[in-house]
């Protein structure tokens, strides 16, 4: 059985990953560090600070007897490609499966966020990745939208209120923007996205879309028999 060390910015993501990978032969060991999210409004907060902290934590996790690392926070995954020190085990970002989908099916994508600190670095990572892997005429169109006032709810532990408000916002967005492929870009948005998809009859993609298949390919996990 493979062991994956999971790097979260909030403890609520543990349950989501455990549920998403419950049908696989994999041991999940969880590391939670909400510090960067708590500092994101400081005047001296920068991508350099994120990169240094993420790199330090990944180096530590790579020594803790895991076969691979799964980074579940989009704020953290935004700096993965700028890692200065190589790691001895594979590292998978929670949005790697979404990037694979965009490469395979170039179209118009609308990425919805609730955490304002993740919008710019995540969109920059997506555009840089697609520039490296696709020719100009084949690249998808990317647009972002911030759903304001919601992320503070989850950081205060108001999970039910967050999910209810987010479900309504995503439902409205899905109906209004039928010409775009809607992605709820953060892992914390996945439960509300699933319900909004059912209510609207429109598929809303999340970082959990294709996660199992992505880990099968990247680190060789297998379904439970």
- Token pair, residue 195, equals 């319900």
Q: What's the pLDDT tens digit per position in 182-197?
A: 999 999 899 999 999 9
* Cα 8 from Cα 73, distance rounded (Å): 6
Length of the chain: 225
CA torsion 171-175-176-178 (nearest 10°) is 130
Q: What's the pLDDT tens digit per position in 102-158?
A: 999 989 999 999 988 889 989 999 999 999 888 766 789 999 999 999 988 887 889
Band the pLDDT of 84: cuts 50, 70, 90. Answer: low
At residue 82, does pLDDT exceed 80? no
Q: What's the pLDDT tens digit per position in 28-73?
A: 999 999 888 788 778 888 888 888 999 999 999 999 999 999 999 9
Q: What is the CATH number of domain 2-94+210-219?
A: 3.40.50.1860
- Extents of the domains making up the chain: 2-94+210-219, 97-200
Domain 2-94+210-219 identical in fold to domain 97-200: yes
Q: What's the pLDDT tens digit per position in 4-14?
A: 999 999 888 99
Query: Is domain 97-200 in CATH 3.40.50, yes or no?
Result: yes
pTM, 2 dp: 0.89
């Amino acid at each position: 059985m493979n062991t994956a060390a999971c790097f979260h910015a909030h403890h609520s993501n543990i349950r989501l990953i455990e549920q998403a990978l419950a049908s696989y032969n994999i041991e999940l060991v969880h590391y939670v560090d909400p510090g960067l999210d708590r500092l994101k409004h400081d005047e001296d907060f920068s991508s350099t600070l994120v990169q240094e902290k993420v790199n330090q934590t990944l180096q530590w996790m790579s020594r803790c007897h895991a076969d691979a690392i799964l980074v579940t926070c989009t704020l953290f995954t935004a700096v993965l490609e700028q890692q200065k020190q190589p790691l001895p085990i594979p590292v998978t970002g929670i949005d790697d499966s979404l990037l694979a989908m965009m490469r395979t099916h170039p179209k118009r994508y609308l990425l919805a966020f609730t955490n304002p600190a993740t919008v710019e670095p995540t969109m920059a990572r997506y555009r840089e990745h697609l520039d490296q892997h696709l020719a100009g005429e084949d690249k998808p169109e990317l647009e972002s939208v911030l759903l304001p006032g919601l992320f503070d709810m989850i950081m205060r532990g108001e999970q039910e209120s967050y999910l209810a408000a987010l479900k309504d916002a995503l439902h409205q967005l899905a109906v209004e923007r039928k010409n775009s492929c809607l992605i709820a870009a953060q892992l914390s948005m996945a439960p509300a996205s699933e319900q909004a998809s059912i209510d609207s009859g429109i598929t809303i993609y999340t970082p959990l879309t294709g996660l199992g298949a992505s880990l099968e390919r990247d680190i060789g996990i297998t379904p439970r028999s």
